[in-house]
Amino acid sequence: MLKSLFSGVSGLQSHQIAMDVESNNIANVNTVGFKYSRANFSDLLAQTQAIATAPQGQLGGKNPVQVGLGSTVSSMTRIFSQGSIQNSDKNTDVAIQGDGFFIISPDGGNTYKYTRAGDFKFDAGGNFVDNNGYIAQGWLRDPDTGKVDSTAPITNINIAPGLTTPASPTAEVVLKANLNSGPLVASYSAAYPISSTAGTTEPAATNATGYAVDSGDIGVMFNEVGEAFSLQKGQGMWASFKTATLTAPGAVTSPGNLDITFNVDPELNITGNAVNITATGGATAAESANIFVSAINAKTAITGVSAAVDAGGVITLTNTNASDTASHNIDITVGGADTSGFVTDAVTTAHRYLYDPSASLNILGGTKTFTQMADLRSYLQVEAREQATPGGGTNGITVEVNDAGKFVVQNSTNTGDDYDMNLRITGYTNQTTGSIVPENTRFTRNMEALNAAIPAGSAGKALSQSFNAATHSSSIDIFDSLGSKHTLRMEFRKTAVDLTTGSTWSMVVNVPNPAVISTLDPVNELSGSIRFNNDGSLATYDPQTISFSGNNGSSPNQQVSLSLGTANAFDGMTSFDSRSATSGISQDGFTGGDLVGIRIDQSGTLVGSFSNGRSFGLAQIAMAKFTNNEGLSTEGGNVYIQTSNSGDPIIGTAATAGRGFIQSSALEASNVDLSRALTQLIIIQRGFQANGKTITTSDQLLQTLIGLKQ
């Protein structure tokens, strides 16, 4: 009978402990980061009245007869389920979503404690502390590398009040852009100007700042509306500065016959490349002359030559080079029976100027091959002067390229060797069998604007239409060691196309004076090139590094790497048939600045924002993970400590190796569920009442036993 009393008492004691546990849970329903506990009951030893027996013969086995001696609370289980995340307005509040604990220390890192409560703040000394004053542990930014090394030992997180960041000189400029490889561009600039004194071996073309550069391959240039000439080998033009004239040394005799042959320019598709003209004269010399002139003029559409006769019967032949389809010069062969007064003779004033990027330059002779704009300029000027004095005229005729990219022909007045200029440009077409070269109408149209009559001594000018190069430019401010800004500008200009390998663009890098970007020859501008493969990927570029000196008291010879992409890849500069545009440009330098704010990202990095517009990690919060979270011991104040059954802490960064991620401006609420807790109170209450009833019932039974004696 007494055993039932003791069982009831143990039940009361067990439920009292459970009541204490559940009351503590409810008391901490609003405690940040709190994890509720559960009391685990177990029975006590049982008194055995009879042991179990096995079956024997026809008699079955018997179970043991045992009487239990009550219950006890054998353990407490802390439930580490996720608490709800509640947003807050405090940027240093942090919550853990997932497994793990913040690491805090009360003694500068000698001992560690752990918490889920992320109500942190900065104290007067810049320490990142919790409500107990314990300092959060993590990693600090290395001032040498500028990085937060999460593989180093953890330490107190401290960000000094009034933190400033010194200026950091630019070490790298990264550019991502496309340079239009197509036949129609929207971004272009005039060809560089070329003076009339420039030579042909090294054309003295200059950019806007006067730095000598490649004058540009006309084959890859564009007209005034951005249409590509796309000159092919053998395309070009006819050009003459004087009308070809040939006057017969004698008058027409009568009676007689006309028997002459014009040797037509061999580039035209005319059988035999010659036109024979015959005619029978009239009764008088004047009649014969008119008949001969009419016969010659009847073939002008083919020969390009027209005829006229003066009062004395002398015939003059003229070829103005005004026809694309006819011959451009005069080359006459006279037959033996001819009485026109002519003798075999030739006058050449028009020459072919043909584009050929692979041939050696030819400045003299009938056919002149050119590639660069400077080549064509030289050829035109030499030929213009040759027309006055073969072998090297001393007249003042000049040909130059102005800053609008236009050829300018001027009949100057500085000598007496000038002549009346009749400048004629016509299109060139080669239709000889086996070598068909069509006229490049865009190039012809650009040059035909030069057609003009400029009298000698008038100083008159003729101008072509503009020649333009596809261009693109990008600029960015870089910083010296003092934090001063300097604008670095990169200009790209299309200069050549290789049908097999791809395109080439010139690259000019410059900075404003007094800064310089070269140590060998202190200049504020460097010229280089960038080449692309035929799939538009980057092939190579130069320069890849500049040596910058601000010349303002900052450190000289600052090495700045130009990162334009990886060879044979599309991660930087490209050249596709799409609009030239810069998709990204950046540099890594900055001026000094003061700390104006801190935010915390999901990895637990404390990112500082500075008055110079820069943001970078100042520290990173460390997190610990345990093999057995339930083995941790609580110390109060939302703090846990390691025990022998929790395992050692596995320290690392958030969101790695099973550790949860960190959410800033938020706190993790208690995981106590009031509905569950209140229900559990009812269960505990009923259990306690039932155990109390056990004691009162046992007491009544004992009273009955005592009454038997009476």
Q: Is the pTM of this model over 0.75?
A: no
| pLDDT at residue number 533 | 96
Least confident piece of the model among 192-201, 503-512, 676-685, 694-703 = 192-201
Provide the pLDDT confidence category of residue 267 given band limits of 50, 70 and 90.
low
Q: Give the residue ranges of DSSP H helices in 469-518.
A: none
* Segment 148-188, tens digit of pLDDT: 999 999 999 999 998 999 999 999 999 999 999 999 999 99
**Positive or negative CA dihedral for 383, 389, 390, 393?**
negative
* DSSP letters spanning 640-695: EE--TTT---EEE-TTSTTPPEEEESEEEPP---HHHHHHHHHHHHHHHHHHHHHH
List, in sequence order, every residue forming a beta bridge with 493; answer none if it has no partner: 471, 506
Q: What percent of the chain has pLDDT over 70?
A: 93
Provide the pLDDT confidence category of residue 209 given band limits of 50, 70 and 90.
very low
- The better pLDDT of the pair 263, 561 is held by 561
DSSP SS3 for 504: strand
Query: What value does the mean pLDDT take over residues 120-136?
Result: 96
Query: What value does the mean pLDDT take over residues 198-221?
Result: 60
**Positive or negative CA dihedral for 214, 215, 220, 224?**
positive
| pLDDT at residue number 211 | 44
| pLDDT at residue number 1 | 60
Query: What value does the mean pLDDT take over residues 364-369?
Result: 70
| pLDDT at residue number 307 | 97
| pLDDT at residue number 357 | 84
Query: What value does the mean pLDDT take over residues 282-309?
Result: 93
On the question of pLDDT at 81 being above 90, the answer is: yes
- The better pLDDT of the pair 259, 273 is held by 259
| pLDDT at residue number 367 | 73
| pLDDT at residue number 214 | 56
Q: Give the residue ranges of DSSP H helices in 298-388.
A: 300-303, 373-386
| pLDDT at residue number 269 | 46
Strand pairing of 525-532 and 538-542? antiparallel
| pLDDT at residue number 138 | 97
DSSP SS3 for 97: strand
The 8-class DSSP code of residue 372 comes to B
Q: Which domains, ranges and CATH numbers included, belong to the chain?
A: 2-78+676-709 (no CATH), 85-166+594-668 (no CATH), 172-191+468-587 (2.60.98.20), 244-348 (2.60.40.4390), 351-463 (no CATH)
Q: Of 669, 660, 663, which Cα lies nearest the Cα of 95?
A: 663
d(CA 88, CA 404): 63
On the question of pLDDT at 143 being above 90, the answer is: no
Burial readout 257-288 (b: 16 or more C-beta within 10 A, e: otherwise) = bbbbbbbbbebbebeeeebebebebbeebbeb
Determine the residue type at 53: T
DSSP E strands in 212-355: the ranges are 212-213, 236-240, 244-247, 257-263, 274-280, 306-309, 315-319, 330-334, 345-347, 350-355
Q: What percent of the chain has pLDDT over 90?
A: 67
Provide the pLDDT confidence category of residue 416 given band limits of 50, 70 and 90.
low
On the question of pLDDT at 615 being above 80, the answer is: yes
CA distances from 472 to 178, 492, 507, 582, 627 (A): 9, 5, 10, 9, 60
| pLDDT at residue number 435 | 64
Q: How many CB atoms lie within 10 A of CB 569?
A: 10
